[in-house]
Structure 1
């Protein structure tokens, strides 16, 4: 219960859930479990309905895929549930930013890569003072 009151970084708080229930309308969800809403009544100063996302788990903006990002920022009028973006054969699936997670890419020789450093290739000569 306390995590819902104070834990804004790990899902929606009670205040956000109350606002969603009162003013929001569920538009859809993505494959990551994020849920997307549009306001029912509140028209903003520029005449458009407000749009927002509640994240499934940790709040990280890179979890939003390109099609939902376009809808959230009014690039597309229709949400991906109504009119999905055409997908090319060469496109990869969306991945959030993995920096700082165990799934982050670690180059060979990185100290974070299990402490294993590749052996020197032979063209390296250690510096010695003269």
Structure 2
């Protein structure tokens, strides 16, 4: 019972009941899951006006588009026909692993001198003199 109530009122944590109902009514089947726990679905049978089947992502936790890896992003936008579970993207040696945008989280980048940084700001140059309204 508590799970149903939380699904209705805490919509930002998982799929809403409306989304789950849409997936069920359209006969969407799960195609795969990424390393972040996001689940990917594709509509069975019918295609849209552009000739493509509709595709969805159900985020695990907070819905943030930057948490979709590039190979799944390409599949969602019909750049690739086959999902990465069937034909994974060829990784280049210089490519780094995908990381979501961490802005606004405790893991965000905070350079020295930032208001949120715990490190002390660098000393200013010796020729700098702050203006004061009391100076003549």
Give the TM-score, by structure 2 length. Answer: 0.86
Give distance in 2, aligned partners of 1:92 and 1:64: 15
2:67 paired with 1:60: no
Structure with larger Rg: 2
Say which SS state the counterpart of residue 41 (structure 1) adopts: coil
Partner of 1:120: 124
Deviation string 1:93-114 (CA, Å, 9 cap, x unpaired) is 1011111000110111000113
2:99 paired with 1:95: yes
Say which SS state the counterpart of residue 124 (structure 2) adopts: coil
Partner of 1:11: 14
2:58 paired with 1:50: no
Give distance in 1, aligned partners of 2:5 and 2:119: 39
- Structure 1 runs of 4+ off > 4 angstroms? none
Structure 1: which 5+ runs fail to align?
A: none
Give distance in 2, aligned partners of 1:61 and 1:42: 26
Give the TM-score, by structure 1 length. Answer: 0.90
Partner of 2:5: 2
Say which SS state the counterpart of residue 73 (structure 2) adopts: helix
2:38 to 34, 47, 72: 34
Aligned length: 130
